[in-house]
Amino acid sequence: MLQIENLHASVEDKDILKGIDLQIGAGEVHAIMGPNGSGKSTLASVIAGNEDYEMTEGNLLLEGEDISELDPEERAHHGVFLSFQYPVEIPGVSVTNFVKTAINETRKAQGMEEMPAAEMLKKIREKAALLEIDRKFLSRSLNEGFSGGEKKRNEIFQMAMLEPKLAILDETDSGLDIDALRIVANGVNKLRSENNAVLVITHYQRLLDYIVPDKVHVLMDGKIVKTGDKDLALKLEEKGYDWIKEEVKTA
Ligand code: ADP
Ligand code: MG
């Protein structure tokens, strides 16, 4: 699904990502962990096409197609979804209307008609039921006065509705409380399928108790320095990152 080779990226002429190789297959969930400032959010931004970041070298393919030259909207239309650590408030636009617009923009970009209202409504009902989201929530103004948990619920609902091929959830700085953690984990687990791939960025090992990743990668100073399974996350929780630094030094 996602294929990253020797990816280098910089921001304001400072090299941040220094040769990332990462392949995520269809149906897989991978986690990226790493100390603050190691480049985790930068990686998410570069995949999503955030224009503050410049990809200076390497390959970035989604389903075999080079997406590195596409702008963020085009990548979204190709099925890349990035959760927002700091979502914007849009007074007067409801959770549902926002997502309807997003879906129809994608369809338009793909040369399709708008989704018929009845089909849209059915889909909203199905996804809301799946994620246990009540109707009152769907009519609220986007992010206005949302709690941390409600912001997460909104993101996960957007993800469920848009059915991205690649969902990137950057949870690093969002201070997930237990409620928000469950919402994210529950959403990801219910939406995992053979048609999508998920990249979860977190420094909360706890999240990975609920979302069991196929692989865990440790990012340090712009490079993936170690890859393992879910047990690696447990080891990091217990021992921190210093032992990996030592390993890298002596390698
Ligand atoms: P992480 O998410 O792992 O904590 P980031 O990707 O946010 O790390 O940051 C990696 C490095 O890139 C840091 O040194 C940070 O200061 C720098 N950086 C990230 N975004 C920007 C930006 N927009 N402008 C300047 N420096 C940035
Ligand atoms: Mg970050």
pLDDT one-digit tens code per residue, 11-51 = 999 999 999 999 999 999 999 999 989 999 999 999 999 99
Residue 174: its pLDDT value, please? 57
Side chain identity at residue 85, one-letter code? Q
Measure the CA angle with vertex 105, ends 160 and 80; round to 5°. 50
What distance, in Å, lies between the first and last C-alpha atoms of the chain?
Answer: 31
Q: Is the CB of 52 under 6 A from ligand 1?
A: yes
Q: Residues 119, 187: contact at Cβ < 8 Å?
A: no
CATH architecture of residue range(s) 2-250: 3-Layer(aba) Sandwich (3.40)
Residue 47: its pLDDT value, please? 97
Which of 142, 197, 133 is CA-nearest to residue 164?
Answer: 197
* Tokens coding 8: 């280098």
Q: Is the CB of 10 under 6 A from ligand 1?
A: no
Which residue has 């990686």 as its token pair?
A: 43
Ligand 1 atom with the shortest distance to the CA of 39: 6
Q: Is the CB of 36 under 6 A from ligand 1?
A: yes
Ligand 1 atom with the shortest distance to the CA of 222: 10
User: Does the pLDDT value for residue 172 go beyond 80?
Assistant: no
**How far is residue 153's CA from residue 133's CA, in Å, rounded to a whole number?**
8
* Tokens coding 121: 């409504």
How many Cβ atoms from other residues are within 10 Å of residue 184's Cβ? 27
Question: What does R_g of the chain's alpha carbons equal in angstroms?
Answer: 18
**How far is residue 110's CA from residue 15's CA, in Å, rounded to a whole number?**
35
Which range of 86-95, 111-120, 147-156 scores highest in mean pLDDT? It is 111-120
pLDDT in tens, 69-103: 999 999 999 999 998 655 678 888 999 999 999 99
| Residue 135 C-beta-side C-alpha neighbours within 13 Å | 3
What are the boundaries of each domain within the chain?
2-250
pLDDT in tens, 175-234: 677 888 888 899 999 999 999 999 999 877 888 888 999 999 999 999 999 999 999 999
Which of 233, 235, 242, 247 is CA-nearest to residue 33?
Answer: 233
